[in-house]
A and B are shown apart, each in its own frame.
Chain A
Amino acid sequence: AQKITQTQPGMFVQEKEAVTLDCTYDTSDPSYGLFWYKQPSSGEMIFLIYQGSYDQQNATEGRYSLNFQKARKSANLVISASQLGDSAMYFCAMRDSFSGGYNKLIFGAGTRLAVHP
């Protein structure tokens, strides 16, 4: 069955330092996609970055990069040079065809990141 695991309920980081948020997944589908989202206290879900299972390079978007280790089934989010505005809840998500041929998009439990000045 599909599964997304985020083992860190909470993390903190000093401003301007880098931080890694962990995400592991489980799927039997060779074709899948991994997503990261930010949810600030205002509540909206902000799409950050995407990694496809066949992508050769790790995805990057500005200060966000995805450390994709396919054999380990991990897709960790790295935020470089943390800013106070990065304080938020972060969700990892996976889309695959699971059974039936249709894609589901399922989420991990999230990690709350606090950036300290």
Chain B
Amino acid sequence: DAGITQSPRYKITETGRQVTLMCHQTWSHSYMFWYRQDLGHGLRLIYYSAAADITDKGEVPDGYVVSRSKTENFPLTLESATRSQTSVYFCASSGNTEAFFGQGTRLTVV
């Protein structure tokens, strides 16, 4: 079945550690997005990608790195996690008339 999956669903990590959140979609959508959702801030765009090897910053990119070597995968890496990066992270992929989200990853940085 076509879909978009994120892993892990839950993650606890320590301050200063590197952590990677995975996102995989099977629709062959060109566009993919990473958001974080915090109380009082709605969904804020971290990074997005228009195609393999094309990525660009969103509203809150600091402290995050992305790559897109294959159309179906769009991993998000926190290079050195901080407590302020505790959040729920959503990945999305978009075609012409739809945009679907993964289930989300709840990340806690302690």
A binds B: yes
A52 touches B97 (CB 8 A): yes
Q: Given A33, A47, A104, which contacts B100 in the complex, CB threshold below 8 Å?
A: A47
**Does B90 contact A45, Cβ atoms closer than 8 Å?**
yes
Contacts of A91 in B (CB 8 A): 42-43
A45 pairs with B101, CB closer than 8 A: yes
The yes or no answer to B74 lying at the interface (CB within 8 A) is no
Indicate which residue in A35, A43, A104 contacts B58 across the interface (CB closer than 8 Å).
A104
A102 x B104 contact (CB < 8 A) = no
Q: Decide yes or no whether B12 CB sits under 8 A from chain A.
A: no
Evaluate contact between A47 and B101: CB separation under 8 angstroms: yes
By size class, the interface of chain B is: 20 to 34
Taking the nearest CB of chain A, how far is it from the CB of B10, in angstroms? 12
The B interface is mostly helix, strand or loop, or mixed, namely strand
Q: How far is the CA of A100 from the CA of B45 in the complex (A)?
A: 16
Taking CB as reference atom, which chain B residue is nearest A6?
B42
Given A47-B99, A50-B98, A52-B97, the answer on whether A105 and B45 have CB atoms closer than 8 Å is: yes
> Are A43 and B99 touching (Cβ within 8 A)?
no
Is B48 within 8 A of A104, CB to CB? Answer: yes
A44 and B58 CA atoms in complex are apart in Å by 21
Q: Are A109 and B100 in contact (CB under 8 A)?
A: no
Known: A44-B103, A50-B98. A107 touches B56 (CB 8 A): no
Q: List 7 A-B contacts (CB under 8 A).
A: A43-B88, A45-B92, A95-B99, A105-B48, A106-B45, A108-B42, A110-B42
The interface of chain A, by Cβ under 8 A from chain B, is 33, 35, 37, 43-45, 47, 50, 52, 91, 93, 95, 100, 102-110
